[in-house]
Homo-oligomer: A and B are copies of this chain.
């Protein structure tokens, strides 16, 4: 299992170790003749460069650390796609980690990521306290996705949840709805702006808002519906996210109500779930790939020393109309 080193390649190619290093880094100042010899020797030996030794010696690394709060939620996968595309374009790799949405574990994951001395770090929807973020931000360029933060060393990328909820309400109003309830995400990340966006839009339209406290899960969505069922049934619902919306839909159907004939439902996030034909949920889409790309770009700008001041991206979400919304009866 012992891998060949540069020394081995150099010996085989009959050159110095330094020359092999130049070839491996694609330096232009190596004669074609030698380059070919080195490459051949490397190939014959099955040599692959030792990333650790390289970054130790160069005191730089060519990878970005990414902590994904929850691997179970495919929402992050597209953010990672964007990060990956942008990083790859600029010669960087991604090293991923997960914290399982628990502060303690996230702390460890973050420390572990830092111990590799990545060029930069992206935290996707972290739940660790701000102090931990500040500490990490002092060690490497750091970008936060789906979480805000006012530290001057930290960049952020978020969608504008206020606008998103506003789009949902506007859509429902334009269909003729006036009795629109919001099932919210409680203390979940980004739940607050989505709630304020709903409230603002309702006010703007001169309508009476009503918020049901809930969570980002399908069971919570179902529970919220069951709570209001024997009270008063609205004609439309703006859910906290897609999971919540699906839970709400099934509770409505169990109560004998049809979606969208009796009640319209709008989700949030446009997860792959929402796109399933069986679900076909009208929902608010965040430009996730773009968000990932911007996050990587922010990191790399700092890595290159091009920017000192923090950047705060607030992206405009869009509404994806599918089959769970219709005019009220």
A148 interfacial by beta-carbon distance below 8 Å? no
Cβ contacts A104-118/B at 8 Å (1 or 0 each): 000000011011110
A146 interfacial by beta-carbon distance below 8 Å? no
User: Are B139 and A277 closer than 8 Å at their CB atoms?
Assistant: no
Complex interface: chain B residues within 8 A of A218 (CB) = 276-278
A249–B278 Cα distance when bound, in Å, is 7
User: Are B71 and A139 closer than 8 Å at their CB atoms?
Assistant: no
User: Are B115 and A49 closer than 8 Å at their CB atoms?
Assistant: yes
A140–B48 Cα distance when bound, in Å, is 13
Copies in the complex: 2
User: Are B72 and A78 closer than 8 Å at their CB atoms?
Assistant: yes
Which are the 3 A-B pairs with shortest beta-carbon distances?
A51-B115, A96-B96, A250-B278
A219 interfacial by beta-carbon distance below 8 Å? yes
The interface size bin for chain A is 35 or more
Interface residues of A in 42-89 (CB under 8 A from B): 46, 48-53, 55-56, 63, 70-74, 76-78, 80-81, 84
User: Are B98 and A95 closer than 8 Å at their CB atoms?
Assistant: no
**In the complex with contacts A95-B97, A117-B3, A277-B247 CB distance below 8 A:** yes
Cβ contacts A199-228/B at 8 Å (1 or 0 each): 000000000000000000011001000000
A53–B52 Cα distance when bound, in Å, is 7
